[in-house]
Chain A
């Protein structure tokens, strides 16, 4: 043993180690307990709702009108709204994010990258409500200039603004994954006469695939859960539509609507908040598990 990191024996340091272990463990425990607490709150809150409305009706109905009679609790209508935002924003942010990552990792000079990457990450620090106003007062008017039939609140503005929000996550995490690809792979590529473009797209990108895909999943997860920007920009009118210029309502926007209106505690509308919250939680949990699985499945180990 040549390292100097041997742990010394002795009762004192033993006790210190134990104490440290307990402190660190309880910190870790706090987050785990919080997660269980949230799950418990969601389930106990949603239980009375599912006594009134059957799970099948909730999950398969296509008309969401929990506040206005005749009441109807088909969650698919707001799941659709959320998915429209997710698909729209992913279609914009994922390709742009990966191309940005490739540029940063493979093409940009070191100096430029050191400026560009933090600048991109600044986007991630802007409060989401600010993005909402940006969508409402900038993106929507621009859309209206091109497509005059655009409503004040529309899915397209929501999707575009969410794309801007998740872009730094995709580009930054993908860039990390690409930079981690060992240089000898690149050199081998060049040695075989490949161009920079070929090395980037055929060597680096596949090698970093697990990280890139994981960034996609995290970004999509974020898009599913995004609240304020879509509540402001995409509207409050649940619709199943493919027309991105129409007003929709996402699951999170519904939750905002109920939370700020004065429905009484204990009413079915109030309970529906928990049912929608639970659905949202299951969706994002599923995405996170998927991301774990992708990371393990596609991980390439070098060295």
Chain B
């Protein structure tokens, strides 16, 4: 007993010192500034849009460090189920809301505002060894991908191309990218041949296409940018010449038909809370001087081009920005909804 006492005291002292140390450390790593705003906003939805939502939220949190915004990416469809039952405040979506999801929202009395937040292109991907085809017409793409298609080899599309079987890769049904691709190309959601390799993970598509010289795949442009060495981009000709999914062609929509807008949905009833209102407005506010300089030095904005946060975040995470007039319209729609919520 005698012997134990000092050691116990030391241990307690050690703990106290440790606690003080942790507290001091916490003081150092607290991010950003306290604006006085408090609260939690939950964001769920498309995992494609997730990096965009997370980038906007991160910038917002730097300025309002007592706000918490957990960002989840359970997918556009699964996200709408949560959103329309009132479990989440913000829903990211890689396609507009579907009629049955609207009905679900209506049944639960959830009102929302839909705003275009960013643009994306769906890239048509080939293997780097593919030296015969650098552009496909919309008609050729349709022939390859239409339901029940019996195009099996490259030569079936163009007799100058090798008589080798396609290996076809794409996203799985249930993803917003799948819905957009089929809708944009075929005019109907879900219209596609059944015998391609459908993956929920675009990295699997990248791996599939990069491992097979005769492969053809499609996926978000961001995945091409991250894997330039392993993939080659195939341009798409919608009647006005071959277009590749680049910033200008996607933002102006001349990369047709495979460019699309992606959306953010705010629960309109929640807009009566100050924190939600401030965050929603933040999307369409001009970026700070510091962020602007970063954008210019990283090459994703022109010096005289002042972006809003939603445009800035879109380009920063590898997507494309919506046009300025779209931002203006979104801002108005949002203000109307805010006025309605109060």
| Residues of A in contact with B (beta carbons under 8 Å apart) | 63, 65, 67-70, 72, 136, 140, 144, 151-153, 235-239, 247, 257, 260-265, 269
Contacts and interface: CB of A to CB of B under 8 A. Distances in A.
A140 B211 contact: yes
A144 B201 CA distance: 23
A247 B197 contact: yes
Q: Which of B77, B81, B198, B209 has the most CB of A within 10 A?
A: B198
A152 B75 contact: no
A81 to B, nearest CB: 13
Interface in B163-215: 167, 172-175, 190-201, 204, 207-212, 215
Given A236-B199, A262-B78, A269-B174, 18 more contacts: A63-B194, A65-B194, A67-B172, A67-B174, A67-B198, A72-B194, A136-B207, A152-B209, A153-B197, A153-B208, A236-B197, A237-B197, A239-B195, A257-B199, A261-B172, A261-B173, A261-B200, A262-B75
B70 interface: no
A51 to B, nearest CB: 20
Contacts of B76: 262
B249 interface: no
Task: Label chain A's interface by main secondary structure.
Answer: loop
Nearest to A136: B207
Interface string B77-113: 1110100000000000000000000000000000000
Q: Which of B81, B191, B212, B215 has the most CB of A within 10 A?
A: B212
A261 B191 CA distance: 18
A236 B198 contact: yes
B340 interface: no
Contacts, number: 79
Contacts of A261: 75, 172-175, 200
Nearest to A266: B81
15 contacts: A68-B192, A69-B190, A70-B147, A136-B207, A151-B167, A152-B209, A152-B211, A153-B208, A257-B172, A260-B201, A261-B172, A262-B74, A262-B76, A262-B175, A263-B173
The 6 closest A-B pairs by CB, nearest first: A262-B75, A152-B211, A65-B194, A67-B173, A261-B200, A237-B197
B175 A68 contact: no
A262 B72 CA distance: 13
Contacts of B210: 152
Contacts of A67: 172-174, 198
A222 B282 CA distance: 54
Nearest to B164: A149
A72 B81 CA distance: 26
Given A262-B76, A263-B77, A68 B199 contact: no
Contacts of A238: 195
B200 A264 contact: no
Contact of B194 (A68, A151, A152, A236): A68
A260 B198 CA distance: 12
A63 B81 CA distance: 30
